[in-house]
Structure 1
Amino acid sequence: MGKTPKGEVDFIVMDGNKRAYYQVAYLLADEKVVDREFGAYESVKDNYPKYVLSLDKYDFSRNGIKHLNIIDFLLADDY
């Protein structure tokens, strides 16, 4: 977990010089939840991959932050 001025990032994964950030939510049920999950990255100014994972099937990706269905993410080989 990483603290930011507007909250926290749920997971930071580091592998050597590589890094990726992950926010996890059950569902992005309304705009308040979407703003909270994507807003956690506002103060993270590097160019490492940033993801929001949820059970939603609709793609909410925005501002370079990828939204992925968590089941698809867990079954994929390339994340």
Structure 2
Amino acid sequence: MELLRRGYQVFVGMVDHLEVDFLAVGAGQERLYLQVAYSTDKEETLKRELRPLQLINDNYPKLLLTMDTVLPEQNFGGIRKTNALNWLIGD
């Protein structure tokens, strides 16, 4: 709902048979890729959530939103991991 409120069209993405939770397309055709997970404290969960985003070969923003309390936010090769609540209030 938040992506729609921000003016995006929202789709589910697929890359190499892996699902990208949300592909948000803006008015100027800019894109935003989002993966959402409650927690990525376990290494295997983090890898699973990052994998689809790592396979996307363009320069549009890629986000991993979690409820983890990550301070400061983390960056995994251009994939920004941030707290979902912080993102919702407009970090």
TM-score (norm 1): 0.88
Q: Tell me which of 47, 55, 80 is aligned to 1:66.
A: 80
Detail structure 1 runs of 4+ shifted over 4 Å in the superposition.
none
Question: Quick check: 1:10–1:24 contact (8 Å CA) kept in 2?
Answer: yes
Cα RMSD, aligned residues only:
1.4
TM-score of the two chains, using structure 2 as the length reference: 0.78
| Greater Rg over alpha carbons, structure | 2
Which gives a bigger RCO, structure 1 or 2 (Cα 8 Å, sep 6+)?
A: 1
2:46 aligned residue: 34
Determine if the alignment matches structure 1 residue 18 to structure 2 residue 37. Answer: no
Q: One-letter code of the match for 1:20?
A: L
What count of residue pairs does the alignment treat as equivalent? 77
Alpha-carbon distance, 1:10 to partner:
0.3
Bigger share in helix? 2
Unpaired runs of 5+ in structure 2? 1-11
List gaps (5 residues or longer) in structure 1.
none
